[in-house]
Amino acid sequence: MIAEYYPKNQYGNYFCAQSFHSFAPEIMNIPFNPQCRILEGAHKLFSRFGLKSVTMDDIARDLGVSKKTIYQLYADKNKLVCAYMEREREEHTKTIEEIGKASKNAIEEIILTMQFMSKTFNRINPNLFYDMQKYHPESWAIFREFKEKFMTQLVIQNIEKGKAEGLYRSDINTKIMARFRLEQVEMAMNPSIFPADKYNHTEVQMQLLDHFMHGICTIKGHKLINKYKEIDDE
């Protein structure tokens, strides 16, 4: 019966009536989906403690269900982490696409997208991505695919849009700058470069974005950035 309401993706996840970030009142009567509950429980613990330190026992205990219930849906922790990462990718893709449609210009789009990403990263344990890369390579591959395909194309489109609007310099190489920007984002998540006990993750991301934007913007673009920052033009 669940499948009638929740189409599966390639990792066996059902689309959840209640997402991590919102839910629609009109679907409150949809039958309970155990996968959603498990994924949201895993999301809470992974975000707080990282991946390595959270066990299947911890998730079962926190949810008040038996470990057997979780293993009936996910054969092992790696499968659960993959499902968690896939759902995060789907949620982020949807939100970022909505930001792009609602943004008035290229600068607003990249600022709003970065604010969304920074708020998201600020709620998770800084070691999560390190744990994923080291202990869950299949999940890391999902993240890398998201970065290489969706995010790369998104930044390329934003730069081309900014050029057309006269906000970004016409002489910059779009593909090089897109690659540079994405590496900045990943570098900011690296605890060996920016350890959590010394740096605020959101501040690091926004500082790197500010550096990037001032490097690619025209005078017109700089004036618009200052307007968004509510400071006088210099």
Structural tokens at position 71: 């293993």
Mean pLDDT of 112-139: 86
* DSSP string covering 194-229: S-TTT--HHHHHHHHHHHHHHHHB-HHHHHHHHHHH
Please tell me the CATH code under which domain 77-229 is placed.
1.10.357.10
Residue 148 has pLDDT above 50, yes or no: yes
Which of 139, 217, 151, 136 has the alpha carbon at shortest distance from 186? 151
User: 34-38, 88-92, 162-166, 199-203: lowest mean pLDDT where?
Assistant: 199-203
pLDDT-derived band at 119 (thresholds 50, 70, 90) equals confident
pLDDT reported for residue 58 = 96
User: 27-41, 121-135, 158-172: lowest mean pLDDT where?
Assistant: 27-41
> How far is 8 from 35, CA to CA, in rounded Å?
11
pLDDT-derived band at 90 (thresholds 50, 70, 90) equals very high
Residue 55 has pLDDT above 60, yes or no: yes
pLDDT in tens, 154-171: 999 999 999 999 999 999
pLDDT reported for residue 190 = 84
3-state secondary structure of 53: coil
pLDDT-derived band at 185 (thresholds 50, 70, 90) equals confident
pLDDT-derived band at 81 (thresholds 50, 70, 90) equals very high
User: 9-18, 43-52, 97-106, 215-224: lowest mean pLDDT where?
Assistant: 9-18
Which of 16, 12, 8, 9 has the alpha carbon at shortest distance from 37? 16
> How far is 11 from 53, CA to CA, in rounded Å?
23
The packing angle between helices 56-63 and 34-49, to 10°, is 120
Residue 14 has pLDDT above 60, yes or no: no
pLDDT reported for residue 17 = 37
3-state secondary structure of 168: strand
pLDDT reported for residue 189 = 80
Q: What is the domain partition of the chain in residue ranges? A: 2-73, 77-229
pLDDT-derived band at 72 (thresholds 50, 70, 90) equals very high
Looking at domain 2-73, does it have CATH number 1.10.10.60?
yes
Instruction: Name 18's bridge partners.
Output: 23
150/1: higher pLDDT: 150
